[in-house]
Amino acid sequence: MAPWELLFAIIPGIVLFLYGIEQFSHEVQLAAGDYFRNLIQRMTKTPVRGTVAGAIVTSIVQSSTATTVITVGLVNAGIIPFTASLGIIFGANVGTTLTSQLIALNLTAFAPVFILAGFVIGIIPGRYRIFGRPIFYFGLVFFSLTLISAVMEPYRTDPQLIALVGMMDTVFLQIAFGFLVTNIFQSSSVTTGLVVVMSQNGLITPSVAIPILLGANLGTTTTSLLVATRMNTSAKRVAVAHFIFNFLGVLLFLPILGLYTGLIQSLGGNAGQQVANAHVVFNLSCCIIFLIVIRPFEQLVRRAVPG
């Protein structure tokens, strides 16, 4: 099979994944939208509490973009101040790593169970019916990855595909690829999910996958930047803070990328688990570093967006 034929075989799975994660996020927000907003409002009195709130909301909604956009809206409405939003942004990046961990743990094998359970719960009258659709779409997300993995598996030694992947032969091209894919699908979860699956199937190594994850972190900031363009100064600061946080995080890790990759590989596990672990360690490290320097970081953002 030629690389372009393989690509068109994978695209339906990607579309299904994107649809599943968007619908899952939407249904969870419908079921508990006010609760999430109240949680964010209550837990932003300190940066650490805000970080915990951001991580919790994102791990449940499975979309750091949704958490960031909600935060931009709350700041724009004056419900929470800009300073309080910084912890939420830091935590959102940590919360979004749950997807890659679940994929690496082969939760995809249980996808049909979630789909069936969600369907049954959704048609049975009662107080729990509202949870049927989120469970169904949660299963659909991982079922789509099963389809993608099944398509990829026979072609792990295909010379044309290996040559295509080999074109990403520099760290900057790999970061650019992650940035581009995330912007195309408007979801870093799509990028991280694909990267973990490709690593599991031996199509790429962790040393290639990790820079792609860095690019995905950069790509996920564009949505909030676009959303904030028509909002007030504080909302613009939230979006810019999200971008600067991710951008500086990538810059911090670039000089030590080789050592970092070696450290992740030394922790053990298969290639997919190594990539998922790298995603967690990167975002958690950045979160801790920027919580320590949150005051200078806040001043930097205020200078970048005066007003």
DSSP 62: T
Alpha carbon 164 to chain centroid, angstroms: 25
| The two three-digit tokens of residue 287, written as one number | 């979160």
Average pLDDT over all residues of the chain: 81
**According to the model, what pLDDT value does residue 31 have?**
65
Mean pLDDT score, 1-21: 67
The pLDDT-based confidence of 153 (bands split at 50, 70, 90) is low
Distance CA 168, CA 76 (A): 40
Residue 133 near residue 122, CB atoms below 8 Å:
yes
Distance CA 304, CA 307 (A): 10
- Identify which has the larger pLDDT, 83 or 151: 83
- Which among 46-60, 108-122, 160-174, 251-265 has the top mean pLDDT? 251-265
Distance CA 25, CA 138 (A): 9
Residues 6+ apart with CB under 8 A from 80: 40, 41, 44, 71, 74
Work out the number of other CB atoms within 10 angstroms of the CB of residue 127. 6
What is the CA angle 147-150-156, rounded to 5?
A: 135
Distance CA 200, CA 152 (A): 10
pTM of the model: 0.79
Q: What does each C-alpha distance from 298 to 83, 257, 295 come to in angstroms?
A: 7, 27, 5
